[in-house]
Amino acid sequence: MPLELKKIFLNENEELSVHTDLDMTDCDLGENRFPDVIGADIRVSNHAGLVEFDAAVSFTFSFRCDRCYERFDRDFAFRFHHILVTSLPEENSDDYIEAPDYLLDTDILLRDDILLELPSKLLCKDSCKGLCPKCGKNLNNGSCACSKGEPDPRLAALSQLLSE
């Protein structure tokens, strides 16, 4: 959603609050997905010439656990804060968000913020035991019948050295 912010930039103590829905259902994340639109509450304010962008988002994310590969849905809520400028003093400045011509595309900004904030390792729970490397059974549902004492065949030469 593009926001027209000229009034905010030119008037101190000016504020704008809006609610928007961000559709990320088409975002290609493999088997992970956003099943519903994301609600975002946005506030842009000018305090002493400093224009600040604040957003609160909440959504459900559907993913496969990186250890046991079961599908789970988890609710997330994030808050984002940025300082807005109409032009950047340097080409590569990560401290500010540029709003040229007093326009800001909130969809692009929030999409990037959300994707950067998602955990890089998605687990159903912190104590997930994963899958048995031999038979593939989900160890969260109980142990398997595979032999645990069998050493890795790649280390057979090392075990011979240690037994001498």
Residues 14 and 84 in one domain: yes
107-122 pLDDT, tens digit each: 999 999 999 999 999 9
- Is the pLDDT confidence value at 92 over 80? no
Q: What is the pLDDT of residue 133?
A: 86
Residues 19 and 67 in one domain: yes
Residues 117 and 136 in one domain: no
- Is the pLDDT confidence value at 134 over 80? yes
Residues 32 and 88 in one domain: yes
Domain count, the chain: 2
Higher pLDDT, 89 or 100: 100
59-72 pLDDT, tens digit each: 999 999 999 999 99
Residues 39 and 113 in one domain: yes
Q: Please, what's the b/e burial string for 126-162 (b: 16 or more CB within 10 A of its CB; e: otherwise)?
A: eebeebeeeeeebebeeeeeeeeeeeeeeeeeeeeee
- Is the pLDDT confidence value at 106 over 80? yes
Residues 116 and 141 in one domain: no
Residues 88 and 54 in one domain: yes
Mean pLDDT of 72-78: 95
Residues 105 and 62 in one domain: yes
Q: What is the pLDDT of residue 160?
A: 77
What is the pTM assigned to this prediction? 0.81
- Residue 163's domain spans which residues? 129-164
